[in-house]
Structure 1
Amino acid sequence: MLDLNTLFILTMIPASAMLLISMVVGAFEP
Structure 2
Amino acid sequence: MGGGDGKVFTLAEVSDHNNMKDCWLIINGK
TM-score range, shorter chain: 0.3 to 0.5
Greater Cα radius of gyration, structure 1 or 2: 1
Higher relative contact order (CA 8 A, sep 6+): 2
Tell me the TM-score normalised to structure 2 length: 0.32
